[in-house]
Amino acid sequence: MFLFLASVSLIALAFILYFILREAVPVFRGATIQELLGPKWRPTYEAAPRYGILPMIGGTLLVTIGSMALAIPLGLAAATFIAEMAPGWLKDIAKTALELLASIPSVVYGFFGLMILSPYIRDSLGLLTGQTALTASLLLAVMALPTIASLAEDALTAVPRSYREASAAMGATHWETTWRVTIPSAFSGLIGAVILGMGRSVGETMAVLMVAGNSPQLTFSFLKSIRTLTSGIALDIAETPSGTTHFHALFFMGVVLLVITLAMNWIAEWFRGRLAKGHLKR
């Protein structure tokens, strides 16, 4: 019985993989791997369709890097503040607020981004459109922040009291204890928080679709419009006849997305193991 329950998630994962791969593989009937990883996405241009998904991979990476550059430092700082410095009543309020923020549907965030953030960026930076990678990054940072802060706060709070006592008894100030004992002890939990936040950033579809502008161009500029893998799939899937190369290419994008997510997890695991050891060696 328990074995069955435990296997359910594994079976579900296997089925997802199977169906995505089943729909993704036929793409090679219409395009080579070089074409798929090319820089041009023009699936509906009948004379010479192109199925290069590189712009979408680039877009996903760009907004992920952008949002994490903001959300990781801010989220960890917020978590440290709530866990270590805030007085009890403020801790309760902040924690509740964070959990509330984390549960707001992404389309609501998207709406906020579209109506407020995007025009603001357009006007303040003097752009033609406010629908840019920067807008998406900022919005994703706001969305990932509660996840990171809330989980990181849990990790910090879980550090045993005896460590803090030992440090305080050595004459360390509260801040020295936080920096030298609490944070290093919570390290693997903090990495976990960051990874989940990053996962939210990579996987977010709706909010990004609403503010990123969605032009499939390969760019490294935050001030240009981009399309991510997720919103790319969501945009096309409803109006693409099933069985076409275009349709299968969307599934191929799904496979790439999966690979990116898995790679991220593996890198995090490796990083965590290495740093845990490195921390002892130092």
Which residues of the chain form contacts with another protein (CB under 8 A)?
160, 162-173, 176, 180-181, 184-185, 279-282
Smallest distance from another protein to CB 57, Å: 39
Which of 142, 222, 246, 154 is closest to 192 using CA atoms?
154
Which spans in the chain are helix H?
Answer: 2-24, 33-36, 54-80, 88-102, 106-112, 118-125, 133-157, 161-169, 174-177, 183-185, 187-203, 206-211, 229-237, 245-281
Q: What is the 3-state secondary structure (H, E, C) of 10-31?
A: HHHHHHHHHHHHHHHHHHHHCC
Smallest distance from another protein to CB 154, Å: 18
Smallest distance from another protein to CB 171, Å: 4
Q: Which two tokens stand for residue 153?
A: 């706060």
Nearer to another protein, 35 or 84 (CB): 84
Smallest distance from another protein to CB 268, Å: 20
Nearer to another protein, 29 or 281 (CB): 281
Do 82 and 94 form a contact (C-beta atoms < 8 A)? yes
Nearer to another protein, 11 or 170 (CB): 170
Nearer to another protein, 164 or 200 (CB): 164
